[in-house]
Chains A and B, each alone.
Chain A
Amino acid sequence: MPDFILTFLKTALHVLIFPGLLFVAIGGLLLAGIDRKVLARMQRRIGPPIVQPFFDFFKLMGKETIIPNAARPAIYKAAPLIGTASLAIMMLFFPLFGHQAAWGSTADLIVILYLMTIPAVAIIVGGSASGSPFAGIGISREMVTMMAYELPLVLVFLAAAKKVGGTSLVFSLDSITAWQQANGCLLFHWAMIPAALALLLVIPAEVGTQPFDVAEAETEICEGPLIEYSGAPLAMYKLNTAMKMFVMTALFTVLFLGGINLGGGVLGWVLGGLLLFAICAVLTILCMTLIHAVTARLKVEHLFKFYWTVVAGLALVSLVLVWFGL
């Protein structure tokens, strides 16, 4: 068999199965299930089964898709799919415990940063295309949320890049992982701990869980951008939220815990996948479920202020510390 067919098959395998679409989708839905179950246990409820998000997804797939008269059908239907696609390929750019990323050479932190905005933009554009005034308010809040968490996120990335690169420009995730393999995980360098905390606080806003779910506040603006969605597109949005959980926690793992090495070969891949999922589950419980269980929803201006003062301040502390060689 010619080489390029083999390469193509390998690529397709990466993109669609592992660590691409299927892995992220299943992992994300499981994480969402764990989140709901643990939340229920914290509230002394029994809670839904862990596979509940799968049921939700398949149920929504089987529902009728209503496209309201005010909506613009093409964009309305395409928006969630674009979000899913960009989330699925983000995982391909993450190195996995000593393995090079499947597509690592084609991306760096800035590309990741921009790819992360695409799912949010997909929600915004889709919601906007639905023509509902509730969605109009929802997209406004989603956008303000995005502006809020972008600043700390950028600062965290720059701090990590400076710590790893020193006096040269290093934005590549592969190099960051390689550095951690040699010098230990970034999380255990004390100057980076505030940045790690900041990233942990960014994750719930990026995913949109309580108390940062101002955009999709179901009790006040009827799920905001998703108000008119039903059936399969809604299922894709729910899937996107779940995938975001996985991808964001995986990003934390890569940035701050990339020093763990599980050896090469197929066994390494499998172990790496399992370990990644385990770490992500812990992180999900830590930064999403815990905060969700003990807080109420913020107002959007409070959210903005919180991210630009507290969280950005934490990240800034790290950047300054790292800058002066600590």
Chain B
Amino acid sequence: MFQKLIAKSMMKSPWLYHINTGSCNGCDIELVACLTPRYDVERYGFKLAGTPRHADIVVVSGPITTQSRDRLVRTLEQVPEPRCVVTIGSCPQSGNVFKGSYSIEGPLEKYCHVDVAIAGCTPKPEAIIEGLYKAAQILQKKREAMK
């Protein structure tokens, strides 16, 4: 019963940690928009955490610049299991308009497994919420797989 409760809680209370790896700030603002009264993701239990140690879902935006790569990798390591990685926008998936630049080290898949990728430049808040919700479901599955 205890394990079931934990698994269910995994889905009900995912905390986000947001990493900007050279994003143009568009996706970041849309993510913050999800927390506003209009969209209010907190009703699903989503909350922004201050440190990766508290996070369940790591949200990555931006095309992963040379400067940010090591920081990104280090921070991702420090997130406790079970965890999900979600990308916002096209940049972390493909590099978007920055593709081919000398200072871009993307896509994110080179460094870790991406659970949910939300495409768009920038994605709408509705899309972000749906993506995060899917990530929360994946979290629960991962927790159940840990048994």
**A residues in contact (CB < 8 Å) with B:** 36, 40, 43-49, 52, 54-59, 61-66, 218-219, 222-223, 226-231, 234
Residues on A with beta carbons closer than 8 Å to the beta carbon of B78? 66
A sample of 24 cross-chain residue pairs with beta-carbon separation below 8 angstroms, ordered by A number, consists of A40-B42, A43-B37, A45-B42, A46-B43, A47-B40, A48-B42, A49-B43, A52-B12, A55-B13, A55-B45, A56-B45, A58-B8, A59-B9, A59-B10, A59-B14, A64-B80, A64-B82, A223-B49, A223-B51, A227-B51, A228-B51, A230-B54, A230-B80, A231-B80
**B residues in contact (CB < 8 Å) with A:** 3, 5-10, 12-14, 37, 40, 42-45, 48-51, 53-54, 56, 78, 80-82, 143
Which residue of B10, B49, B53 is within 8 Å of A228 (Cβ)?
B53
Which residue of A62, A65, A66 is within 8 Å of B9 (Cβ)?
A62
Residues on A with beta carbons closer than 8 Å to the beta carbon of B42? 36, 40, 45, 47-48
A219 to B9, CA, bound (A): 25
Residues on A with beta carbons closer than 8 Å to the beta carbon of B3? 62
A65 to B80, CA, bound (A): 7
**A interface majority secondary structure:** loop
Closest approach, in angstroms, between the C-beta of B39 and any C-beta of chain A? 9
The answer to whether B7 and A62 touch across the interface, beta carbons within 8 angstroms, is: yes
A44 to B143, CA, bound (A): 33
Which residue of B9, B14, B54 is within 8 Å of A54 (Cβ)?
B9
Which residue of A40, A55, A230 is within 8 Å of B40 (Cβ)?
A40
The answer to whether B43 and A45 touch across the interface, beta carbons within 8 angstroms, is: yes
Residues on A with beta carbons closer than 8 Å to the beta carbon of B50? 218-219, 222-223, 227
The answer to whether B51 and A52 touch across the interface, beta carbons within 8 angstroms, is: no
Closest approach, in angstroms, between the C-beta of B133 and any C-beta of chain A? 14
The answer to whether A45 and B9 touch across the interface, beta carbons within 8 angstroms, is: no
The answer to whether A59 and B12 touch across the interface, beta carbons within 8 angstroms, is: yes
Asked whether A48 and B43 contact (CB < 8 A) given A56-B13, A234-B54, the answer is yes
The answer to whether A66 and B80 touch across the interface, beta carbons within 8 angstroms, is: yes
Residues on A with beta carbons closer than 8 Å to the beta carbon of B48? 218
Asked whether A64 and B37 contact (CB < 8 A) given A48-B45, A55-B9, A222-B51, the answer is no
Closest approach, in angstroms, between the C-beta of B56 and any C-beta of chain A? 7
Nearest 9 interchain pairs by C-beta: A218-B50, A62-B6, A58-B9, A64-B80, A55-B12, A59-B9, A55-B13, A230-B53, A45-B40
Asked whether A63 and B45 contact (CB < 8 A) given A52-B13, A55-B13, A56-B13, the answer is no
A45 to B40, CA, bound (A): 6
Closest approach, in angstroms, between the C-beta of A297 and any C-beta of chain B? 13
A230 to B49, CA, bound (A): 12
Residues on A with beta carbons closer than 8 Å to the beta carbon of B49? 218, 223
Closest approach, in angstroms, between the C-beta of B59 and any C-beta of chain A? 16
Residues on A with beta carbons closer than 8 Å to the beta carbon of B37? 43-45
A49 to B43, CA, bound (A): 7
Closest approach, in angstroms, between the C-beta of B66 and any C-beta of chain A? 25
